[in-house]
Amino acid sequence: MTSYAKQDKREGRFFKTYRGYVLAALCVGVGLLLLLFSGGRETTADTSSTDADTYAEALEKSVSELCASVEGVGRCRVMITFCHGEQTVYDGSKVSTVCPPKVQGVTVVCTGGNDPAVRQRLCDMLGALFDIGSHRVVVLPLKK
């Protein structure tokens, strides 16, 4: 056997023995490079969640004012949940329409929340306003 053949056998044994360590080191190196080059860029998901939060806050405020204007409600707080975010409809390659998030449920906490008539009026109003069933509207009394 020549000296080159012995050397090839030794190198092959080295890689068989330490293959896991070499692969782990390569993976760590690639991961560090990805972290290095991806830093400092702003993603669109952050801005869309901020827009969605702003939309939800504005909607909750306007619904709260609307509910407070109903007879017997008094002071109130409103929380609205959505089943999906804003949806964009495309017509070919251009934007056709942008649909706002769909309301999934509404919770109203108000001073008149103990009165069944007030609860019914709010459930009917919010159900019609957001096209949701009355089982998706909860009216509770405000803590004194």
Q: Distance between CA atoms of 126 and 119, rounded to whole angstroms?
A: 11
Q: How many domains does the chain have?
A: 2
Q: Residue 115's domain is classified under what CATH number?
A: 3.30.300.30
So what's the pLDDT on residue 32? 73
Q: Residue 84 in contact with residue 41, Cβ under 8 Å?
A: no
Q: Distance between CA atoms of 83 and 24, rounded to whole angstroms?
A: 42
- Residue where one domain finishes, among candidates 41, 56, 71: 41
Q: Same domain, yes or no, for 33 and 101?
A: no
Q: Distance between CA atoms of 83 and 104, rounded to whole angstroms?
A: 5
Q: 71 is in which domain, residue-wise?
A: 44-141
Q: Same domain, yes or no, for 77 and 134?
A: yes
Q: Same domain, yes or no, for 82 and 131?
A: yes
Q: Same domain, yes or no, for 53 and 122?
A: yes
- Split the chain (144 residues) into runs of 10 and give each run's mean pLDDT: 56 66 74 69 52 86 94 94 84 82 93 93 94 93 88
So what's the pLDDT on residue 1? 55
So what's the pLDDT on residue 116? 94
Q: Same domain, yes or no, for 81 and 61?
A: yes
So what's the pLDDT on residue 9? 58
